[in-house]
Structure 1
Amino acid sequence: MAIVISKADPAYDEAFLAGASVAFGVFDGVHEGHRFIIGEAANTAREEGSRSAVITFDIDPDEIFAPDRLKKLMSNEARIVKLAELDVDAVVVLPFSREFAAQSPEAFLDACFGGGVPSHIHIGSDFHFGRRAAGNVESLRAWGAERGMTVHGHELLAEGGVPVTATRIRGLLGEGKVREADDLLGRPYALSGTVRPGRGEGADFGFATANLEVEPLMLAIGEGVYAAYALVEGVRYKAAVNVGVPATFADASTANIEVHILDFARDIYGQPIEVEFVEWLRPMRAFDSTDELIATVMGNIAWVRENL
Structure 2
Amino acid sequence: MRIYDQIPSLRQNTSVALGLFDGLHRGHQQVISKAVSYDESLTPAVFSFDYDNPALISKPDFKTLLSPTLKIELLESFGAKLFIHPPFSSIKNLPASRFLREILWGALGAKAVFCGYDYRFGQNAEGDTEMLKTFCASHAIHCEVVPALTEDGIPISSTRIRECIHEGKMEWAQKMLGHPYTIDFPVSEGRRLGRCLGFPTINQPYPEGNILPRFGVYAALAQIDGKQYIGVTNVGVKPTVGANNIPAAETYVVGYEGDLYGKRVPLSLIHFIRPEQKFSSVEEMKVQITRDTQEVTRMLQNMLR
> Taking structure 2 as the reference length, what is the TM-score of the superposition?
0.88
Task: Label 1:32 to 1:294 Cα distance change in 2 as closer, same or farther (>3 A).
Answer: same
CA distance in 2, matches of 1:199, 1:68: 34
Please say if residues 21 and 41 of structure 1, whose CA atoms lie closer than 8 Å, have aligned partners that are also in contact. Answer: yes
Query: Is 1:153 paired with 2:145?
Result: yes
* Counterpart position of 1:237: 229
* Counterpart position of 1:107: 98
Task: Label 1:77 to 1:261 Cα distance change in 2 as closer, same or farther (>3 A).
Answer: closer
Q: Give deviations 1:172-202, integer Å, cap 9, x for gaps.
A: 1111111111122222211112222212222
Selected match of 1:21 from 15, 19, 24: 15
Q: Say which SS state the counterpart of residue 271 (structure 2) adopts.
A: strand
Q: What's the CA shift for 1:251?
A: 4.8
Q: Say which SS state the counterpart of residue 15 (structure 1) adopts.
A: coil
Q: What's the CA shift for 1:109?
A: 2.1
Q: Give deviations 1:118-139, integer Å, cap 9, x for gaps.
A: 2321110100011111111011
* Counterpart position of 1:44: 38
CA distance in 2, matches of 1:227, 1:133: 40
Q: Say which SS state the counterpart of residue 184 (structure 2) adopts.
A: strand
Question: Greater CA deviation, 52-61 or 136-145?
Answer: 52-61
> Taking structure 1 as the reference length, what is the TM-score of the superposition?
0.87
CA distance in 2, matches of 1:128, 1:62: 19
* Counterpart position of 1:56: 47
Alignment of 1:1-308 (within 5 A): 3-6=1-4, 8=6, 12-17=8-13, 20-46=14-40, 50-60=41-51, 63=54, 65-66=56-57, 69-88=61-80, 90-115=81-106, 116-252=108-244, 254=246, 256-308=248-300
Please say if residues 158 and 164 of structure 1, whose CA atoms lie closer than 8 Å, have aligned partners that are also in contact. Answer: yes
CA distance in 1, matches of 2:299, 2:73: 31
Q: What's the CA shift for 1:262?
A: 1.0
Q: Say which SS state the counterpart of residue 11 (structure 2) adopts.
A: helix
Q: Give deviations 1:242-275, integer Å, cap 9, x for gaps.
A: 1111222335464611010112232332333221
Question: Greater CA deviation, 132-141 or 62-71?
Answer: 62-71
Q: Say which SS state the counterpart of residue 296 (structure 1) adopts.
A: helix
Q: How many residue pairs align between the two structures?
A: 298
Q: Which runs of 4+ in 1 moved over 4 A?
A: 60-64, 251-255
Which segments of 5 or more consecutive residues in structure 1 lack a partner in the other structure?
Answer: none
Aligned AA (1:37): V
Aligned AA (1:223): F
Aligned AA (1:130): G
Question: Greater CA deviation, 158-167 or 216-225?
Answer: 216-225
CA distance in 2, matches of 1:112, 1:240: 46
Instruction: State the identity as a percent.
Output: 27
Task: Label 1:250 to 1:132 Cα distance change in 2 as closer, same or farther (>3 A).
Answer: farther
Aligned AA (2:122): G
RMSD over equivalenced CA pairs, Å: 2.4
Q: Give deviations 1:137-194, integer Å, cap 9, x for gaps.
A: 0111222222222321121111111111222211111111111111222222111122
Please say if residues 94 and 112 of structure 1, whose CA atoms lie closer than 8 Å, have aligned partners that are also in contact. Answer: no
Q: What's the CA shift for 1:303?
A: 0.6
Task: Label 1:184 to 1:212 Cα distance change in 2 as closer, same or farther (>3 A).
Answer: same
Task: Label 1:251 to 1:124 Cα distance change in 2 as closer, same or farther (>3 A).
Answer: same
Aligned AA (2:45): V
Q: Give deviations 1:26-62, integer Å, cap 9, x for gaps.
A: 212222111111222234325xxx3142322352478
Question: Greater CA deviation, 107-116 or 21-30?
Answer: 107-116
CA distance in 1, matches of 2:3, 2:180: 27
